[in-house]
Amino acid sequence: MENCIGRFAPTPSGRMHLGNVFAAMLAWLSVRSKGGSMVLRMEDLDTQRTKTEYADVLRDDLLWLGLDWDVETAPQSQRSHVYDRYFRLLEEKGLLYPCYCTRSQLHNVNAPHLSDGTYVYPGTCRSLTAEKKAAFTRAPAWRVTVPQRKWQVEDLVQGHYEEDLATDCGDFVVRRADGVYVYQLAVTVDDGEAGVTEVVRGMDLLSSAPRQMYLQSLFGFHHPQYAHVPMLLAPDGRRLSKRDGDLDMGALRARMTPEQLLGYLAHAAGLLPHPEAVSAKELATGFSWQNVRKDDVCISADMLQA
Ligand code: GLU
């Protein structure tokens, strides 16, 4: 059997919250239960929001939990020369075009709205003439054209999911007008180059998988196995975010042991009948995706207030 390689791909824009830890725990358990290895990569493309101090704390928090890794690859902020190469590959294939649409033009588009807040791009700039392009004074973003075909995800948690990028997404941006590469391109290149075979992350990224599978096929990478895990919700049904300071790792570490926290999350995932204290290593023995619940998890008010 091919060796399993998983990854942690956190964004160092603040302290991890309970939901980030939940996904990280499941990523680690899946890989370690198969004797595979873990890669850590800091996703710091957004240099305005990310800080190296957050990355340091993040590593410390993962290790405190017993969620270790074998290698850390270069952070995304240092890899734009690598992304340039893949961008040129798309250019050589004739799949890129400049897009001059403004944010407000994109938002006024009378098109379906995807769950991640983006719109189906109607192809406005796909066939601009050279003259029209020359008339713009601002720098363009770059979009990749998508074919009409279905991309099927057989997700370890969510089951079958499919999208036809042409109708469900449209041509999507791979490089922004300010020259920064977007998440979809960077994550595909990084996972592909690191040989990642298994991608475990929050359910909110399920609709990114077809875009990434398309780029993987263009770049010559294998498709990894996907597992999109449930989101953790506050008792009022809100998704937890880094703004829920009472549930970030700073607050959690002050009031729980790593074993208590893992036991709580393993119970929430469906892996334990009761939230009893347990180590990451103990949980890895006998881990199976079949036991992981698929629906979002409401976390108890006592956890929020404790
Ligand atoms: N960097 C993303 C996050 O922190 C995760 C991206 C991924 O797992 O593909 O939410």
- 231-241 mean pLDDT: 87
Half-sphere exposure of 284 (CA within 13 A, CB side): 17
What separation in Å is there between the alpha carbon of 78 and the centre of ligand 1?
17
Which residue did the predictor score with more confidence, 267 or 117? 267
Does 5-78+230-304 match 80-185 in CATH topology?
no
Instruction: Give the nearest ligand 1 atom to 43 CA.
Output: 1
Which residue did the predictor score with more confidence, 113 or 215? 215
How high is the pLDDT of residue 303? Answer: 76
Lowest mean pLDDT among 193-197, 216-220, 228-232, 300-304: 300-304
pLDDT of 241 > 90? The answer is: no
How high is the pLDDT of residue 72? Answer: 98
Task: Parse the chain into domains and list their residue ranges.
Answer: 5-78+230-304, 80-185
Instruction: Give the nearest ligand 1 atom to 208 CA.
Output: 9
Give the CATH architecture of domain 5-78+230-304.
Answer: 3-Layer(aba) Sandwich (3.40)
Residue 266: CB within 6 Å of ligand 1?
A: no
Which residue did the predictor score with more confidence, 141 or 300? 141
Q: Quote the CA–CA distance of 197 and 222 in Å, as a whole number.
A: 8
- 41-53 mean pLDDT: 95
**Residues in contact with 220: Cβ distance below 8 Å, sequence separation at least 6, in sequence order:** none
pTM: 0.95
How high is the pLDDT of residue 117? Answer: 64
pLDDT of 305 > 90? The answer is: no
Residue 201: CB within 6 Å of ligand 1?
A: yes
Express each pLDDT in 111-147 by its tens digit.
Answer: 655 656 667 899 999 999 999 999 999 999 999 999 9
SS3 state of residue 236: coil
Selection from 34, 30, 13, 14 nearest residue 22 by Cα: 30
How high is the pLDDT of residue 229? Answer: 98
Express each pLDDT in 161-202 by its tens digit.
Answer: 999 999 999 999 999 999 999 999 999 999 999 999 999 999
The CATH number of 80-185 is: 3.90.800.10
Neighbours of 270 (CB within 10 A): 15
Pocket probe mutation, ligand 1, options 5, 11, 189, max atoms within 8 Å of Cβ: 11
How high is the pLDDT of residue 110? Answer: 59
SS3 state of residue 257: coil
How high is the pLDDT of residue 157? Answer: 98
Instruction: Give the nearest ligand 1 atom to 200 CA.
Output: 8
